[in-house]
Structure 1
Amino acid sequence: MKILFLACLKPKTGNHTTAERIRSHIESAGHICELRHAGEFQSSADVNSLLSQDPPFQGALAIHLYRAGRLLLDVQLPFGVIFGGTDINEDVKVEQKRAVMEQVLRKARFAVAFTTKLKEEAEIHLMSQSSKIYLQPQGIQTEVADNFCWTEFMRSSGVESEHVDELRVFLLVCGLRTVKDPLYLVEAFSAWHCKNVPNILIILGPNIDPVLTAEVKSAVKRTTGVFLAHERSQQEVHAAMKRSFAVVNSSVSEGMSAAILEAMHLRVPVLARNIPGNAAVVQHEVTGLLYSSPQDFLHQSQRLLSDQELRERVVRNGKLYVEEHHSLEKERETYQRLVDSLHSV
């Protein structure tokens, strides 16, 4: 079967990584899967032009009901959709977008939600029949770059210290865009660093929003203890996580943060902002720590520094949680079965 797969494919983002992983699942079953950036197309007419090529496509898949799913509304192909998080957490608040997403969900053969919370929200806000929405958490795998140099990474991030191994690095892994709120902790963390110099915050991720990127660079220049690292390959990000004291999330909205799950898999403590998407995967004091404000972040960080038993517990439980609930093999089986269902009667 030849499948068209539409997703937002900005380089080195969670969406891109997820889409590539799902594409590999589909192709490992013997299908042809052409992954395309939804931003290439303005309307269903543009997609139909692509579909007219030979050999013809026989099905389609999309991540994010509004950004990508709307492009499939007028195509004459069976298709399935995957909730991206922003569509349910944010776009349903806009009536015009919500109406479009309802149409997409009605026409789709199936939909996939990463968490029970997303599934429940979709059923409430998009008036969907529950039987159409499948629950499949993201499958997680990690790979640490063999040639990663921690000293070089720190130096390239602007950290000037002869004793980098003595620093406690809090690593905020995120694309620089508003929904990730990378500036949320900067002022509070900088003030903490001035009292506790070994504690530093490094923001690591691709420059997605030019305006916000400029704001982040400006904030980093005028504060101490906060640094900005240029984007890295996924293997290098995993290596940086492995060397960090903790991995941080400060998003205002999440579908399912791969960075959080990858940190857990790598046995690195997680400090995540207490929002529904994060609370769905981080159980406070069990698999990680949740915080509700910059000051609460500092409080939870200090607990992590002073309580070795707490640190060991969240690391151990985080690893077990990912292994039990985020199996790559289970994810592969689910998507292969759903794609096969596109041509069932």
Structure 2
Amino acid sequence: MRLLFLAVLRPHTGNAVTAQRVRAHLEAAGHVCILKDAFDFESPSEIANLILAENCEAALALHLYRGGRLLQGHRIPFGVIFGGTDVNEDANQAEKNTVMGRVLEEARFAVAFTESMKEMAQVQWELQQHQTPLLTGIPFFNVLVDPVFTREVKANVKRAAGVRLIGEMPQEDLHAVVKNCFAVVNSSVSEGMSAAILEAMDLEVPVLARNIPGNAAMVKHEVTGLLFSNPQEFVHLAKRLVSDPALEKEIVVNGKEYVRMYHSWQVERDTYQQLIRKLEGSTED
């Protein structure tokens, strides 16, 4: 089957890495997956022309608003994958919230990466009326590169003693750096599913993460990692982790097991391939 896959493909972002991984899953099942950057299109009419030109039979979108809205009104069946921006940011804007609700009404399935993200979506759009499979997976992690944010980070790092900013590097080198670190810190104020946290757990490195819904969905305090709410609490927990080898060992073991149990790459592949079969069946009706 020929599938159109819309996602935000800015280089070195989690979205782009996730999209490439999902495409690999689908192509492994024999589908032709035509991956396009949602930001290259402004209206569903442009997508209609693309669907016709590429002879697409079904479609998939990563992010309901950024990609899913472009798939509305076409005759081909489609599924959607929630992004963190959908439930953490765009859902708070009335116009975007309404658009995403309409996308869900038309989508044949919707996928959430974590249980908390699924629950938030159910509250926002009453998804008990829809089929919303829960899916988790292990992205390989890449650093988000945003020009404005990058300038802010570089400026702050220059003023911070003892902090080094390391540029992009090959994945193998990144893994080596992470494995040689005492801990990985996630200080995001908004997350869907942090690939950095999952990868640190898989590499057996302790995690300290800001206590926000996306992080707390994966990090159970003092079990699979440590959660902090402010700088003072972070300093306290970091010192505790350094001085308590037993706690460090327990967190590492539990984190590794959590990834094995709930973020299996093979389970993710099988699940996406099963979901796409739902679209394949729809085209035959």
Query: TM bucket by the smaller chain?
Result: over 0.9
CA distance in 1: counterparts of 2:149 and 2:273, whole angstroms: 38
Map 1:2-41 to 2 at 5 A.
Answer: 2-41=2-41
Matched, 1:102 2:39: no
Residue 49 of structure 2 corresponds to 49
Q: How far 1:211 moved relative to its partner?
A: 2.3
Residue 129 of structure 1 corresponds to 128
Residue 207 of structure 1 corresponds to 145
CA distance in 2: counterparts of 1:118 and 1:330, whole angstroms: 19
CA distance in 2: counterparts of 1:283 and 1:64, whole angstroms: 26
Per the alignment, in what secondary structure is the counterpart of residue 164 of structure 2? strand
Residue 260 of structure 1 corresponds to 197
Residue 310 of structure 1 corresponds to 247
Map 1:92-241 to 2 at 5 A.
Answer: 92-139=91-138, 205-208=143-146, 210-241=147-178
| 1:139–1:207 Cα change, 3 Å | closer
Q: How far 1:219 moved relative to its partner?
A: 1.4
Q: Return the TM-score normalized by structure 1.
A: 0.79
1:267–1:316 Cα contact (<8 Å) kept? yes
CA distance in 1: counterparts of 2:42 and 2:130, whole angstroms: 31
Matched, 1:321 2:283: no
What CA deviation, in whole Å up to 9, does each residue of 1:109-146 have, x standing for no partner? 00001111111111111132354110011235x6xxxx
Unaligned segments of structure 1, at least 5 residues: 143-172, 175-204
Matched, 1:330 2:264: no
2:138–2:199 Cα contact (<8 Å) kept? no
CA distance in 2: counterparts of 1:330 and 1:286, whole angstroms: 24
CA distance in 2: counterparts of 1:74 and 1:280, whole angstroms: 34
Per the alignment, in what secondary structure is the counterpart of residue 329 of structure 1? helix
CA distance in 1: counterparts of 2:20 and 2:278, whole angstroms: 21
Q: How far 1:99 moved relative to its partner?
A: 0.3
Map 1:268-307 to 2 at 5 A.
Answer: 268-307=205-244
What CA deviation, in whole Å up to 9, does each residue of 1:154-195 have, x standing for no partner? xxxxxxxxxxxxxxxxxxx87xxxxxxxxxxxxxxxxxxxxx
Per the alignment, in what secondary structure is the counterpart of residue 133 of structure 1? coil
The residue type equivalent to 2:22 in the other structure is I
Q: How far 1:206 moved relative to its partner?
A: 4.2
Q: How far 1:309 moved relative to its partner?
A: 0.3
CA distance in 2: counterparts of 1:331 and 1:132, whole angstroms: 17
Matched, 1:341 2:278: yes
| 1:295–1:46 Cα change, 3 Å | same
Q: How far 1:250 moved relative to its partner?
A: 0.8
What CA deviation, in whole Å up to 9, does each residue of 1:2-35 have, x standing for no partner? 0011111111211111111111110110101111
Q: CA RMSD in A?
A: 1.5
Per the alignment, in what secondary structure is the counterpart of residue 254 of structure 1? coil
Residue 67 of structure 1 corresponds to 66
Per the alignment, in what secondary structure is the counterpart of residue 315 of structure 1? helix
The residue type equivalent to 1:207 in the other structure is V
| 1:272–1:229 Cα change, 3 Å | same
What CA deviation, in whole Å up to 9, does each residue of 1:223-282 have, x standing for no partner? 211121112233332222111111110111111111100100000000110001111100
2:63–2:80 Cα contact (<8 Å) kept? yes
CA distance in 1: counterparts of 2:274 and 2:164, whole angstroms: 44
CA distance in 2: counterparts of 1:114 and 1:321, whole angstroms: 14
Larger radius of gyration: 1
Per the alignment, in what secondary structure is the counterpart of residue 302 of structure 1? helix
CA distance in 2: counterparts of 1:237 and 1:267, whole angstroms: 14
| 1:252–1:125 Cα change, 3 Å | same
More strand by share: 1
The residue type equivalent to 1:36 in the other structure is K
Number of residue pairs matched by the alignment? 282
CA distance in 1: counterparts of 2:251 and 2:219, whole angstroms: 10
The residue type equivalent to 1:229 in the other structure is I
Q: Return the TM-score normalized by structure 2.
A: 0.95
